[in-house]
Amino acid sequence: MQKNYNVVAGFNLIAPAYDLANDAMTLGLHRLWRSSLCRTAARLAPSRGKLLDVATGTGDVILGILKVRGDLHITGVDPSEGMLQVAREKLDKKASLHASAVDVKSGDARNLPFPDNTFDVITISWGIRNVNPFQEGLREMLRVLKPGGSLVVLESGRPELKPVGAAYKFYSKLLPFVGGRISGFMPAYRYYTETVESFPAGAQFVAELFETGYVKAQYKTLGGSIVYLYTAQKPK
């Protein structure tokens, strides 16, 4: 693992090329995987509910949910001002009709600037792995969820399917070179591959959700089991 790597500074550097790099590294499949999270969150949210997108990045989760649930009030938080700048520009261009229902601000998953029991649904897409320690982020999200509210997490992880594992190992070695070439900052993508390898996935992460206090935690795999979609609830 890279010592003293500053995650937020890294995201600030790669923000302008972040979307393009993701398209190149996944052949656009990240959009399909993210849409699964968006559809799940939209299904779980009550009418005119309040949704929080943690580690909102360039705002694609907000846009994806608004496509199917324009009645929701959505707040996005991210510690990277560079990513938030891209998100604001994108939302101004693509979601201007929903401007009064969307709020994007700076925020750390370990210290969310909201009162207890505020949101009906919380989403985090490829973000929990960057929270250190991630258990603090899970606890904070549990705190600001309403009783009975839902958490939806999308994250990469070691493949469960053995035939996929060998191919993914080769693929993960290429990622830093592809991402670094497009963004001009390879350390961010080295960090990505290293944390994916060490982060708990599947049943291990579900156990962490239960340990934190969530109930009804479960997961399914996407993309041949290289991506995991988790759902859990705050006890009523």
- Residue 72 has what pLDDT? 97
Whether 39 is covered by a domain: the verdict is: yes
Residue 75 has pLDDT above 70, yes or no: yes
Q: What is the mean pLDDT of the chain?
A: 92
Query: Within a domain: residue 75?
Result: yes
Kindly state whether residue 125 falls inside one of the protein's structural domains.
yes
Which phi-psi region, left, alpha or beta, contains residue 110 (left: φ > 0; alpha: ψ -120 to 50)? alpha
Residue 8: inside a domain: no
User: Per the structure, how many domains does the chain have?
Assistant: 1
Q: Does residue 175 fall inside a structural domain?
A: no
**What per-residue confidence (pLDDT) applies to 167?**
75
The parent domain of residue 129 ranges over 33-160+201-233
**In this structure, what CATH number is given to the domain that contains residue 145?**
3.40.50.150
Q: How confident is the model at residue 2 (pLDDT cuts 50, 70, 90)?
A: low
* Reduced 3-state DSSP string for the chain: CCCCCCHHHHHHHHHHHHHHHHHHHHCCHHHHHHHHHHHHHHHHCCCCCEEEEECCCCCHHHHHHHHHCCCCEEEEEECCHHHHHHHHHHHHHHCHHHHHHEEEEECECCECCCCCCCEEEEEEECCHHHCCCHHHHHHHHHHHEEEEEEEEEEEECCCCCHHHHHHHHHHHHHHHHHHHHHHCCCHHHHHHHHHHHHCCCCHHHHHHHHHHCCEEEEEEEECCCCEEEEEEECCC
Residue 61 lies in a domain: yes
pTM of the model: 0.94
Q: In this predicted model, what pLDDT tens digit does every residue of 206-222 receive, in sequence order?
A: 999 999 999 999 999 99
Looking at residue 4, its pLDDT comes to 67
Q: 49, 72 in Cβ contact below 8 A?
A: yes
- Over the stretch 106-161, which tens digit does the pLDDT of each residue have? 999 999 999 999 999 999 999 999 999 999 999 999 999 999 999 999 999 988 87
Residue 173 belongs to a domain: no
Query: What integer pLDDT is reported at residue 161 of this predicted model?
Result: 77
Give the tens place of pLDDT for each residue, 181-215: 888 888 888 888 888 888 999 999 999 999 999 99
